[in-house]
Structure 1
Amino acid sequence: MAYIQCRFFSEVLGLSTSMSVILPEPAASQIGMAGSNVAGPYPTLYLLHGMSDDDSIWMRRTSIERYVSNLGIAVVMPQADLSFYTDMAEGNRYWTFISEELPRVCRSFFPLSNRREDNFVAGLSMGGYGAFKLALRKPDQFCAAASLSGALNISHNLVDEVRGDKEITSLFKRIFGADGPQGTNNDLLTLVEEVAKQEGPKPLLYQCCGTEDFLYQDNLTFRDACHASGLPLTYNESPGSHDWAYWDAKIQDVLSWLPLNKTSN
Structure 2
Amino acid sequence: MTKVTLRLVEFVVIVLGLTLGPAIFAQTQTNITNVPVAGLPLGRELSHVLALRQRVETRKLASKLMGREMPYRVIVPPGYDALKLREPNGYPVIYLLHGLTGSHSNWTDRTKLAEYAAAHKFIIVTPEGENGWYTDSPTKSNDKYESYIVKELIPQIEKDFRVIADRKNRMIAGLSMGGYGAVKFGLKYPEMFSFVGSFSGAVGASSYRTLEELPPSLQKILVGTFGEPGGDTHTANDLFKIVSDASPQKIKAMPFIYMSCGTEDFLIQNNRDFLALLNQKKIPHEYREMPGTHNWAFWDGQVREFLAVAYRSLKN
Fold shared by both chains (TM-score > 0.5)? yes
> Is 1:184–1:190's contact at 8 Å kept on the other side of the alignment?
yes
CA distance in 2, matches of 1:18, 1:55: 7
Per the alignment, residue 11 of structure 1 pairs with 64
Q: Among 285, 288, 298, which residue is 1:246 paired with? A: 298
> Is 2:210–2:229's contact at 8 Å kept on the other side of the alignment?
no
> Is 1:196–1:230's contact at 8 Å kept on the other side of the alignment?
no
**Which deviates further from its counterpart, 6-15 or 123-132?**
6-15
Distance 1:208 1:177, change over 3 A: same
State the Cα distance separating 1:171 from its structure 2 match: 1.4
Per the alignment, residue 141 of structure 1 pairs with 192
Give 3-state SS (helix, strand or coil) of 1:116's partner. coil
> Is 2:99–2:175's contact at 8 Å kept on the other side of the alignment?
yes
Q: Among 75, 89, 92, which residue is 2:124 paired with? A: 75
Q: Among 84, 101, 107, which residue is 2:158 paired with? A: 107
> Is 2:228–2:234's contact at 8 Å kept on the other side of the alignment?
no
Deviating runs (4+, > 4 A) in structure 1? 37-40, 157-161, 180-183
State the Cα distance separating 1:70 from its structure 2 match: 2.3
Distance 1:2 1:17, change over 3 A: same
Q: Could you tell me the TM-score, scaled by structure 1's length?
A: 0.88
Letter in 2 for 1:22: I
Distance 1:255 1:117, change over 3 A: same
* RMSD, matched Cα: 2.1
Distance 1:240 1:160, change over 3 A: farther
Whether 2:219 is the aligned partner of 1:169: answer yes
Whether 2:98 is the aligned partner of 1:46: answer no
Letter in 2 for 1:244: W
Structure with the larger RCO, 1 or 2 (CA within 8 Å, 6+ apart): 1
Alignment of 1:125-204 (within 5 A): 125-154=176-205, 155-156=207-208, 162-165=214-217, 168-179=218-229, 184-195=235-246, 197-199=248-250, 201-204=253-256
CA distance in 2, matches of 1:74, 1:159: 40
Per the alignment, residue 133 of structure 2 pairs with 84
User: Any idea what the Cα deviations from partners look like across 1:208-241, whole Å, max 9, x if unmatched?
Assistant: 0000000001001100010001101100000100
Per the alignment, residue 13 of structure 2 pairs with none
> Is 1:149–1:208's contact at 8 Å kept on the other side of the alignment?
yes
Per the alignment, residue 21 of structure 1 pairs with 74
Per the alignment, residue 206 of structure 1 pairs with 258
Per the alignment, residue 56 of structure 1 pairs with 105
Per the alignment, residue 11 of structure 2 pairs with none
Q: Which has the larger radius of gyration?
A: 2
> Is 1:9–1:17's contact at 8 Å kept on the other side of the alignment?
yes
> Is 2:262–2:294's contact at 8 Å kept on the other side of the alignment?
yes
Letter in 2 for 1:80: G
**Which deviates further from its counterpart, 219-228 or 86-95?**
86-95
Per the alignment, residue 218 of structure 1 pairs with 270
**Which deviates further from its counterpart, 18-27 or 135-144?**
18-27
Give 3-state SS (helix, strand or coil) of 2:265's partner. coil
Structure 1 portions without partners, runs of 5+: 28-36
Letter in 2 for 1:171: I
> Is 1:125–1:150's contact at 8 Å kept on the other side of the alignment?
yes
CA distance in 2, matches of 1:159, 1:208: 27
Letter in 2 for 1:148: F
Q: Among 265, 285, 297, which residue is 1:233 paired with? A: 285
CA distance in 2, matches of 1:131, 1:106: 17
Give 3-state SS (helix, strand or coil) of 2:69's partner. strand
State the Cα distance separating 1:111 from its structure 2 match: 1.4
User: Any idea what the Cα deviations from partners look like across 1:115-163, whole Å, max 9, x if unmatched?
Assistant: 1000100000000000000001111110010100000112139965534
Letter in 1 for 2:107: W
State the Cα distance separating 1:40 from its structure 2 match: 4.4
Q: Could you tell me the TM-score, scaled by structure 2's length?
A: 0.75
